[in-house]
Structure 1
Amino acid sequence: MLWDMQISDPRAIRALAHPLRLDLLELLARAGPATAAQCGRILGVGQANCSFHLRQLAKYGLVEDAGPARDRRERTWQVIDPRPTIRVTAGSDALVGRQLERIVVERETQAILDSLDRPRDEHDTPGSRTGIVAAIATVTAEEAAELQEKWKALLEPYIARTGTTADPRHHPGQRHVRYFMAATPMPTIDTGEQHDGHDH
């Protein structure tokens, strides 16, 4: 999932500003239609809790009823957009927007830490291990925006598969891998030097 959906309604942003709702949205985007019970088993959460949050996501048009399950006793849910993205647009509630952004960052950070703590075995492949790239770059605002667009363009062909490949087991060697990019401007270093325009 690319967290780039254009949302300006503060109520919709507030509805998403909950870790479990983001988990559910991501799960349905990755695995396809599922019942609240199935979501609960995968996420380790009670069925009633999942059902409540799925209804809230549906209320704001983020998921929809996909019809009854095979046993006809429970409904299934699916994302309306097979590749949901989230972007808090300008003019929306700034405080709620920051809350949502913070939750997204916390979720991704926890996913990285969980991956680092996961035991390794002989079945590990390069794609199953955490890949970390850290660097300090000197860029203008325009160049920073260009880097972000290039990063998204690089991932685009692989993200496109997610909306059409509900079960990666149908494609030997493929698996779902999380990618997260964050550009964090660093504080300016004040050297304390004064320049009067004359050489000394």
Structure 2
Amino acid sequence: MNEHEYAPRRTWMTSALIAVNILCFLYLEIAGSSEDVRFMLEHGAMYTPLVIENHEYYRLVTAMFMHFGIEHLVNNMLVLFVLGDNLERALGKMKYLIFYLLCGIGSNFASMMIHMHDAQQYVGAGASGAIFGVIGGLLYVVARNRGRLENLSSRQLVVTVLFSLYFGYTSTGVDNAAHVSGLIIGILLGLLFYRKRRIGKEKNIYEL
């Protein structure tokens, strides 16, 4: 093997996360309706008064795996499918799982803090905070690798971020606070979690 070549490590954690999101969606559709706000609230969606006043902190996690309708699910899972395996290979499976969960929980918490004093509280759900975290992590990793990681470039990621934020701010019912905070948390966690691979004499070695 040439010293500049390496076999990409197999990834399955991203596929597992996508599968969990799909299974949760199917359960919600079978048990009721993922577009019924009251039903979603009863099954773990984010709602600030319940988290703060009733101490239902589990909602910071459960809301990550719930989606309002098939379009919401498909949009999020497509982005995770396209980008997730790149970060999984860069971090390693367990680091990637912890990274993903921390981004989702952190973005939900940040959004809750930002909207805590809003006159009207909203029910929230979705994996987009965690997925923006994945994008943020990739931005850091790509930057550390001189603007490219596997088939990704910094330009592609920046365009993805700008397009996603533009779509969020020009649409209704989108929690942009969770998106932006997820992106920032992802960059910061990338700084903590990522160790740049070093090239040995015969093959690339990932430092985990």
Q: TM-score range by the shorter chain?
A: under 0.3
Please say which structure displays the higher CA radius of gyration: 1
TM-score under structure 2 length normalisation: 0.23
